[in-house]
Each structure stands twice: as structure tokens, then as C-alpha cells.
Structure 1
Amino acid sequence: MTRMLALLMLCLPALAHASTPDGANLSLLWGLPFAGILLSIAVFPMLAPAFWHHHFGKITAGWTLLFLLPFTASFGAASSGSLLLHALLGEFIPFVVLLFALYTISGGILVSGNLHGSPMLNTGLLALGTLLASVMGTTGAAMLLIRPLIKANDNRRRNVHVVVFFIFLVANIGGGLTPLGDPPLFLGFLNGVAFGWTLRAMALPLLLLALALLLIFYLLDRHLFRVDGVQARDASPDTPVAISGWRNVPLLGGVIGAVLLSGLWQPGETLDVFGTPLALQNLVRDVLLLLLALASLWLTPRAIRAGNEFNWEPMLEVAKLFGGIFITIAPVLSVLQAGSDGALAPLVQLVSRGDGTPHNVMYFWLTGILSSFLDNAPTYLVFFNLASGDAATLMGPLAQTLLAISMGAVFMGANTYIGNAPNFMVKAIAQQRGIAMPGFFGYMAWSFSILMPLFLLLTWLMF
């Protein structure tokens, strides 16, 4: 990372006049370092888990440099610096600031008690998290509930499935009801999609998918509970749930307010940082988020964070991995944005019928599949602009197309650990608590066997 910053500092004087290459002129070979990061995430934890745990940051930085150095040699330091600056200032830093605020504040709310996991209790916690995800974001809801859910099930012989379904429902699908829930929908909100439209359009598919998953989970959990029973944990009786750290609740409300502010307040002022435009409302939002997180650290007693076993490792893991992902994904997204003029033209052409009308089934599946392996927020934006780019048109005659894009980006982020940032954070916390979480492909075996049939059913019902 220091070499990347050094490269950026060297070419700062030329950045004001630099531009990144048009995606129509980029080869798909520029996406190999991005693919390398994905393969590293998939393979190293299986083949060399200890090595990966200690060196994943260096491996990610290595792939990032393997992209930046040839890119600099081909297009010049100014273009490379411009790409790096845009990825860091325009995308990565706002992304990390929001995660940091939600992770810090939710980590200051302690849900305590001595509940022992049962199928009914687990299903209820998953349902609660699904509802909260659209109010406080998938990251906030996931960080609030994952620790008490793990604690409730620490005497179950098999509890991996509990965390996997938690990722499905709380870290992804539950965030589909409002622009507050998941970054793709927030991007749509910033581009003119009405808050009420998202609420109305996404209610039915989210309800159908969530109910189906909760039913499947309950039946599976009940079966495993009957077969395995529970391990002896302690002789004390169950105690009621108690919540500590109430000072963080209004701070969490402040996060929601700051996010809404950046969508509703449009002063039209933009700060240009060497070619990267930073809207005033977004800068104000990020400053507010940082202040709210710092207030949480100041106001929350240490005992509460100790009770949550709070530490920064999950946050650091996400930041290091997604830092490399945001940089190396840039040429892939540029090629996609080039549409029919880019190297992925055959893929882009699949979303249009012969008469030029949108193919909504393909919009759903292509947005979803790409969101599973690329970041789902920019993938949403690519297909949003490909369909029309005009919010009024997309909420009107192309409403089904916008629904397909929204469903694909939000729901299929659950297909892999990298589809949505909370997935990795939940996985990291579960592993810290001693749960043997499946690897990259092992998790995909869960998601593809359970989610894909439901996505096919949704396709038939909605499109």
C-alpha cells in the first residue's frame, strides 16, 4: 500500500489533466489481477490457512501492484494515479467510512443473556435481523446480532448452518427493502430512485424469498437439533435478554440520518481533487459518520465492548481485501461500462431483445451473477445506466427492469463471501468464535444449492 501511495504522490501534479483509458480500448487481460485476488480468497484459506491469515494483506497488495505497475507502464503515471485516486477517494474511502461507523457503533451495543439456541429462537433472531437490515443497513444489523446468535448456539454440535443463513438473510436479502439497507439501492436513491418506489417494488420479492429461507432454515435446524442435541455448557438456567450500550442507539440513528442527508440534500457544490469529483453532501456525510464513530468509542464503556469480544480484525480484513478489489476491479467495470463497444459486448447484448426492449430475466441474472463476484454497488450502477440511466423512466415504463437490477444486486450478493462486505465480516467474527466456517467454494456449495432454486422460482414469479 505504501508503494501505491508513493506512486500517487509522484504523479499528483499531472492528475488534474489525466484521464483513465476508455473501457472500449481495454483488454480483458487487465482483469487478471482482480481474478487473482478472487482466486487467492478462494484457494489460500483451503490450502494454506495459516499463511493466508498472516499474509493476506501482502498477497492482496501484490496482486494490486501487479495491476498498477503494468498499467502505469502502458498508460502513464498520470492515468494510473488518476485511477488510483478515484478508486480510493471516490469509492473505497466512503465505503470503509460507512462500514467503520456501523461496525464501531453496533459493536458498542451489547445484547446479553443466557439463551440456549433452539430452532424457534434461531429462526426468530434471523427474522428480526432481516427486518432490521433495511432500517440500519445490512452491516449494522449483522454486527448487532451475529455475536448473540453465535453465543446462543455455542453448545450446538453443528452451527455452521446458522451463520450461513444469517449471511443469506441479515447480511444481504434483508437489506433489499429500502435504500438504507444495501449500497446498490442507496446508489439508486442518489441517482433519483424514490425511497417509496424501492419500498413498494421490493416488498413482495423480499417477503417471498425471506419466508422461504426462514422456513428452510427452521426445518433444517429442527432436524439437526433433534439428531445432535446440545453439548453441556453450563448448569445455569436461561436468563432474559438484556441490552446495554443504549447511548449507541441514537448514534446509529445518526448514521441513518447522515446517509439520508447525502441523498436528500443536493447543494450542487463539488470539490474537484485532481480530476476526482467529490460532492459536498458526500463529504459532509463521511465527516459526520467519522464523528459518530468516534463519539461511540468515547461514550461506550470498555466492559460493553469486552462483552462483545470487540476487536478490529474483521474490519481490517475487509479494508485490506476490498482496498485491492476496488483498485483492480476498475478496468473490469470500465469494460462493462463501454457496453457494446467493449470486450464484454456479447455479455452486454444479452440484456436486450431483438426489438431493443430490455430482457428483464437477463438483467436479473447478469446483475446478480456479476454482483456475486464483483462489488454489487458499482455493478448495479453499470446496469442502471445500461438500461436507461434516467430514474423517472426506470420507475415508469421500465419499472420491471429496475426491479430486476435491484433484486439481482441485493439478493445475489449472498452467493459468495465477496458479494457484499458484511459477508466477510460475519465470516471473520464466526471464525474468531471457533466456528469452522466453510471456505470460498464450500460456502458457494451452500448458496448455490439453497439460493439458486429460489432465484429460479422468483424469476418465474416476477418476470
Structure 2
Amino acid sequence: MPLVRSRRRGASLDPNRLVTWLRSLALAAILTLLPQHAWAATGLDGAAMRWPYALPFAGLLLSIALGPLLFPKFWHHHYGKVAAAWSLLALASLVGFGGIMATLAALVHAMLAEYLGFIVLLFSLYVVAGGILVTGDIKATPAANAGILALGTLMASVVGTTGAAMILIRPLIRANRLRRHNAHVVIFFIILVANVGGALSPLGDPPLFVGFLHGVDFFWTTRTIWLQTTIVAGLLLAIFVVIDAWRFRSEPPPGDAGPARPVRVRGLVNLVLIAAIVASLLASAMWKPGIAFDILGTRLELEDIVRNVALLAIAALSVWLTPDEHRQANGFTWEPIREVAKLFAGIFVAIIPVIAMLSAGHHGAFAWLLSAVTAPDGAPREVAYFWFTGLMSAFLDNAPTYLLFFELAGGDPQVLMHQLSGTLASISMGAVYMGALTYIGNAPNFMVSSIASENGIEMPSFFGYLLRAGGVLIPLFLLLTVLPVAPILHWH
């Protein structure tokens, strides 16, 4: 009976909350009717720029890395203002360099062609996954923990790393709450579910969705790097089982907690809505009506309008159809997605001059980077692309880093998927896999860590996590570089 009453309450939202939410949805829908593809004709000459134009971008990323560590209270209350300040500094430098109209065109392109589609997908997955509630008692044995990690790894490419992480992290925490040693479980969860598992589709990880928005086929990564992902994920699961079994042996025997409650999944309507998200992305990839509009050099494609409106409508349905009690039991709040939205907006603005300089190739300030990933005969070095993309993803966030190296490799999706498939595979693997090296490497990492800390798990500091994750991952990546079974990566 409580469940029946709960469902009815879930369908009757508070009027004030509903009005506020509908206003936000209307604004988002209006923005969604703006462009989604093609580089804007900004008129910014990246060859004439020098490295100081990249300082706002570097400052913002350094703030994201050190702000929560050195000034946690200030950062928690003012992170949006910090991101806005660095963004405004980047825009001011561009106005001085290229004028108001060129800067406005670049801003329109960054926000509408790069950022909006990315955040709409992340928002819809976060909302829908937040309505799925897993209840019941799970014994925190190495086998059960490994099963949850394996399930999350498989789910990540279907519902996204954010979706899989938000669905499974709380059941995992509840199962391991009473164990003395439990931080390693969350660390491996971040590595596998919030990162590596998302390597096989644009739904899985933000950088791959950025590639999808730039013309990479939906199933390209599935066909191309499934073997490498299987190797990395399988070895990580094996390492986890060894570590967790060793830790589990030192745990005191559990007391008698009474009969275990069966595991149940509630909010099943959201599984249908996740399928609708997948269908929306596939439809937008296949449906090309050829209708487009140009705004300040950025093209508006009809299929992108329909896709984003559909994603927002799916999120609205999830809020309407899911009982409020399900989200409350999940500890669902809007703060994590709000934080990600603000910080990524700042990143996508501050990165504008960096993209312009990279686009200048050998004539730009980052010619040294192009030389590092290119052989004397002009052929790309796949191993260099893998490591440079990966290590920069760990500290610069993997979505904009993917975009940087995508453009550095030429930015033509047809060429990258065929003649330079090894290069695109190296960029994709580096961005997805090595996003797990730090809390800021991928959007869900920090969310999972925050949820774990709020629930009493003592998570390591930024650098503590880096040492632990690096100790596990770097040897695997070195192995991946030299394995004969992974011929994608080669030095030229």
C-alpha cells in the first residue's frame, strides 16, 4: 500500500517546483532550437595567437583540480563564479585580438555546436538514471562486488557512464558500508563503471559523444576497440577480485542482521526512457533531411533540433512518471548536474583560443605538440596520440581533450574513421581510459567520489586517488601499447 500512495504522490509535483522546472525546460528548449553542427566562421586567426591566450583555460582547469582541495568551502559556494571569471577573461582577450563580432561568432559556436548537445545528453541520462532505485540487501563479498562492477561496466556503454554510475553506486555503498576497507571498491567502480565501460558507444562517455556530434559513426568505436576494451576491463576486474578478496579476509565476521531483503529494482519506466534516449540518438544519426540554417557561421541541423527536444522531453517524462520517493531514496539532487553544467560551460568557452591555435597546425603556438604526435613523413604516431590524449584527459577533462586531438589530427571524421582509423582509436581509448586517472578526468568521477564521501566512505584526496589509480592503470596502458593483439597502436 505505501508503494501505491507513493506513486500517486510522485505524479503530483509541487506547483511552485513545477512552474520553475517548466520555465527551465522552456528556456532549454528554446536554446535547443539553435545550431548544433559545423565550425563557425569566427575569423579568429590561430596562427597569430601566442600561448598566453591559453592561460584562462589552464587557470580554470587548475582551479577545478586544486579548488576543492585547498579551498573546499569557498569552492563549493563559488565554483560557478570562478568558472565564469576565467571564461570572461578568455572572451575579453579574444575581443582584443579579433573584435566583438568574431568573438561572438566563436562563443555561439562553442556554446551551441559544442556544449549544448553534450550537456543535454548528460542531463537527460542523469535525470532518467536518478529515477531507477535498487533496493534490498547485497552481501559485500568479493564475488558480489565484482558482479556489480561487471554489470556497471557492461551498462556504461548503453546508459552512459553517468547513468550506470548513478544507478549502481548507492547499492554498492550500502552493501560495503560496514566493511573497514571499502574505499578501494569505489576507486575501481570509478575506473570501470565511470570510465572504461563507456568506451563502446557515444552514449557511454562524453568525449565519444563529442566525436559523434562531429560526424563519427555511432557504432564505430564498438566495431573498432571492443577487443582492447575487453582486455583492459577484464584485467581490471581480475585485479579487483584479488585485492578485494585480500581485504575481505581481514574483515571481522558479520553479525546476524536477520533475513536479507530481496533485491528489487523500482522505477522501471526509466528503463524504457533510457531505450528512448538510445533511439533518439540513433534516429538523429540516420535521419538527414538536409534542412539547415546558418547563425553567425554555425549551422542549425533539423535532426539535431529534434534530437535535443526529444532528450529534454524524455527527461521531463522521467520527472513526471517517477515517484518522488524513489529519487529521495537515491539521494537524488540537482547539485551534481548543476556543477557539471557550470564548470563545463566555462571549459568550453575558455578552450576557444586553444582550439584556434591547434587548428593552425604547424603555424600555431602548439606546433610542438603536433610535431610530437606526427612522424617526419607526416604520418600520425598512434602511440603518441594515445598517451598525450590520455594524460591530458586526466588533468584537462577528457571531453575537451578529445576535441583538441580530434582537431589536431585533421578534424575530418571520414578520414579519421578510415585512412586514420588507428589515430582516432588511439584518441578515443586515451580519452576514455585515462579519464579514470583523476577525479576531474571525467564528469561522473567527482560525482561518485562526493556521493561516497557523503555516505561515510573515506575517499582518498585528489593526489591520493591519482597514486592509487595510476598504480593500477599505467602498467595496463603500457601493456596495451605493446600487446600484439592490439595492433591499432604503432609507432611510425
Global fold match (TM > 0.5):
yes
- Structure 1 window deviating more from structure 2 (108-117 vs 275-284): it is 275-284
For residue 118 of structure 1, report the CA deviation from its aligned partner. 1.9
2:187 to 139, 146, 164: 164
For residue 181 of structure 1, report the CA deviation from its aligned partner. 1.8
For residue 137 of structure 1, report the CA deviation from its aligned partner. 1.6
In 2, Cα distance between the equivalents of 1:209 and 1:130?
Answer: 11
For residue 34 of structure 1, report the CA deviation from its aligned partner. 1.8
For 1:245, the equivalent position in structure 2 comes to 267
In 2, Cα distance between the equivalents of 1:211 and 1:229?
Answer: 29
Which residue identity lines up with residue 183 of structure 1 in the other structure? P
1:315 to 303, 312, 337: 337
1:223 to 236, 246, 249: 246
Task: For structure 1, list consecutive stretches of 5 or more residues without a partner in the other structure.
Answer: 1-16
In 2, Cα distance between the equivalents of 1:278 and 1:390?
Answer: 19
In 1, Cα distance between the equivalents of 2:179 and 2:154?
Answer: 25
Instruction: Name the SS for the 1:104 alignment partner.
Output: helix
TM-score, L = length of structure 2: 0.84
In 2, Cα distance between the equivalents of 1:306 and 1:71?
Answer: 44
- Structure 1 window deviating more from structure 2 (182-191 vs 409-418): it is 182-191
Q: Is 1:199 matched with 2:222?
A: yes
For 1:119, the equivalent position in structure 2 comes to 142
TM-score, L = length of structure 1: 0.89
Q: Is 1:406 matched with 2:428?
A: yes
Q: Is 1:56 matched with 2:79?
A: yes
For residue 20 of structure 1, report the CA deviation from its aligned partner. 4.7
For 2:26, the equivalent position in structure 1 comes to none
Instruction: Name the SS for the 2:265 alignment partner.
Output: strand
Q: Deviations over 1:20-58 (max 9, x none)?
A: 512222222122122222222222222222222222222
For residue 350 of structure 1, report the CA deviation from its aligned partner. 1.6
Give me the CA root mean square deviation: 2.3
- Structure 1 window deviating more from structure 2 (119-128 vs 372-381): it is 372-381
Contact 1:361 1:459 in 2 (8 A): yes
Q: Is 1:436 matched with 2:458?
A: yes
Q: Is 1:446 matched with 2:468?
A: yes
In 1, Cα distance between the equivalents of 2:41 and 2:157?
Answer: 39
Q: Is 1:327 matched with 2:349?
A: yes
Kindly, what percent of the aligned residue pairs are identical?
A: 54
For 1:294, the equivalent position in structure 2 comes to 316
Question: 1:42-441 counterparts in 2 under 5 A?
Answer: 42-191=65-214, 193-229=216-252, 235-387=257-409, 389-441=411-463
Which residue identity lines up with residue 305 of structure 2 in the other structure? L
In structure 2, relative to structure 1, the CA distance for the partners of 1:161 and 1:392 (3 Å cut) is same
Contact 2:152 2:193 in 1 (8 A): yes
In 1, Cα distance between the equivalents of 2:71 and 2:405?
Answer: 37
For residue 460 of structure 1, report the CA deviation from its aligned partner. 0.6
In 1, Cα distance between the equivalents of 2:77 and 2:456?
Answer: 17
In 2, Cα distance between the equivalents of 1:322 and 1:440?
Answer: 19
- Structure 1 window deviating more from structure 2 (410-419 vs 340-349): it is 410-419
In 2, Cα distance between the equivalents of 1:60 and 1:386?
Answer: 25
Instruction: Name the SS for the 1:417 alignment partner.
Output: coil
Which residue identity lines up with residue 99 of structure 1 in the other structure? L
- Structure 1 window deviating more from structure 2 (41-50 vs 188-197): it is 188-197
Which residue identity lines up with residue 78 of structure 2 in the other structure? H
Residue-pair matches, total: 446
Contact 1:414 1:420 in 2 (8 A): yes
- Structure 1 window deviating more from structure 2 (406-415 vs 440-449): it is 440-449
For residue 260 of structure 1, report the CA deviation from its aligned partner. 1.5
For residue 378 of structure 1, report the CA deviation from its aligned partner. 4.3
Which residue identity lines up with residue 149 of structure 2 in the other structure? L
Task: For structure 2, list consecutive stretches of 5 or more residues without a partner in the other structure.
Answer: 1-39
